[in-house]
Amino acid sequence: MNINMIESIGSKTFNSHVIDKLIENGFRIGDCLCLGVSGGADSICLLTSIVKGIENRIEDDSSFQIINVITVDHKIRSEEESFGDCKFVKKYCEELNEKVKNIKINCIVEELKKGQVLHTAEIRKKGIEDAARYLRYQVFEKNAALLLDSSENKKIFFALAHNQNDQLETLIMRFLSGSSVSGRSGILNNRTIELKNGTLNYVRPLLDVSRKEIETYLTAENVLWRTDSTNTDNKYLRNSIRNTLIPILDENFPGWKNSVISGREKALYENSFIEKSIQSLEWNKNNEALWIDADVFDKLDFVQKEHFLYKGFDQLETGERIPFSFIKQISRMSDSCCKFGVEAVYEDNKLWLKKQQNNVTIYGFFDIIEEEGLYTFDFGKLHVGNSESGFADLEFVTNEGHFHYLSNVKLPFVFRSRQISDTVLTKTKGKKSVSDVLSDFKVNVEHKNLIPVIQNLDSDGDNNIVAVWGEIFGYSNWIV
């Protein structure tokens, strides 16, 4: 589709296009249907076009469609913005319910716990965006399972609002990170997962529609949407690609989008071929480890080895991105090697994969401090007191009996170890990575994962780390 086509065919045909995409993936009017809706243009377009498209196809008064809208408050922005999005979605669902016939829209608002995304990011070691997405899909699948329990049909369709711009950004991100052929396949049109009580089918009916087409559609329908303020923050790779790199490509390389999409299509065919060539192979499981006969593995072509290893990493859920260099190391090794959260071992004529037991990571810590009290950590005790004004005084006593103090820290806050993506504000209101701060402080390697980072959960700013408490281990403090 393109913008001129949208303007000429009108909203009704746009609605029909979206429903056709659902039907191509197995959906039929009346099937159990969920939508993930954030309040942004993409998801509001998805909701609007599906409701109007289904309404146009219901032929008699006896037909009825229930649409379940799931909206999630991640609590990683200000309450006014984050929960405001949820209220906006709920209100829009109510307005649609008043306008349409034979369709009932159930809006379910799910609120994550304050600090839950940060905690998950710390555990998964992949950053805030990944953690938010991971938890969001957990919410989707929980609600899908509840709906399957109450339905005779053990299949549910879940529509998501990824569009052509998302696809292009993802393909660029994966190219820059050196992804395998499966990664170069980009965002898939559909994905099926098996829940305990039925089948969940994720479908993306807007994947061939551009953001410009989406906004043109909403404008024609006189429908408003919300804008996430973090979309302009280029510390996130996707935002940097969207706001910096893509405008350069648009200006200097006409036709690049078609070339990238064509490359994705080729990767899909290649990925399908590789999948078929190893479809008879499965990783065997022994407790928490996976294994395959070493002779069988060694007879595979290198591309097959790569593909099969990545399937094993997915099963292990290491929480790490595994680079190509490590794949090569495993493929040609005769001894064990441990990197990136994985231990690979040739033993008893088997190749074993298991999660790496890394002693450095045991020092990671995370606690949400909401009130006065005494909090115990491996390296000492934190006393939080004098919080009547909403600001607390902190006293930390190390295991060696040394006392350290910070005052006027706003409650609630997170007391945690550093993350790779952490940044702090400088005196000139710029940003500096916490890793660089620790390097400037000449922090020993063994202390880098122990020095506490204090993060204010109620901050309205994008960067709410208020202190790096280096003094506890004999270094300087960074106070924002």
Q: Which helix (H) or strand (E) holds 95?
A: helix 79-99
Q: pLDDT, tens digit, for every residue of 94-116?
A: 999 999 989 999 999 999 988 88
Note the pLDDT of residue 461.
46
Note the pLDDT of residue 448.
86
Q: Which CATH class is domain 280-357?
A: alpha beta
Note the pLDDT of residue 344.
86
The three-state secondary structure class of 340 is: coil
Note the pLDDT of residue 4.
46
CATH of domain 3-252: 3.40.50.620
Domain ranges of the chain: 3-252, 280-357, 362-479
Reference 83, options 39, 115, 47; nearest CA is 39
Note the pLDDT of residue 360.
38
Dihedral of the alpha carbons of 418, 423, 424, 426, in degrees to the nearest 10: 140
Residues 461, 252: Cα–Cα separation, whole Å: 35
Cβ-based neighbour number of residue 193 at 10 Å = 12
Which residue is associated with the tokens 């064509």?
262
Q: pLDDT, tens digit, for every residue of 18-33?
A: 999 999 999 999 899 9
DSSP letter for 2, please: -
Whether the domain at 3-252 and the domain at 280-357 fall into the same CATH topology: no
Note the pLDDT of residue 318.
66
Q: Vertex 145, ends 143 and 146: CA angle to 5°?
A: 65
Where the chain has pLDDT below 50, the residues are: 2-8, 358-362, 459, 461-462
Which residue is associated with the tokens 């794949």?
327
Note the pLDDT of residue 320.
61
Note the pLDDT of residue 361.
39
Note the pLDDT of residue 5.
47
Q: Which helix (H) or strand (E) holds 131?
A: helix 128-149
Q: Vertex 186, ends 181 and 192: CA angle to 5°?
A: 100
Note the pLDDT of residue 178.
79
Share of the chain above pLDDT 70, in %: 92
The two three-digit tokens of residue 170, written as one number: 């993802």
Q: Exposed, middle or buried by CB within 10 Å (0-12, 13-18, 19+), for 145?
A: middle
Residues 163 and 207: beta-carbon distance below 8 Å: yes
Task: Bin 91: left if φ > 0, else alpha if -120 < ψ < 50, else beta.
Answer: alpha
Residues 54, 37: Cα–Cα separation, whole Å: 17
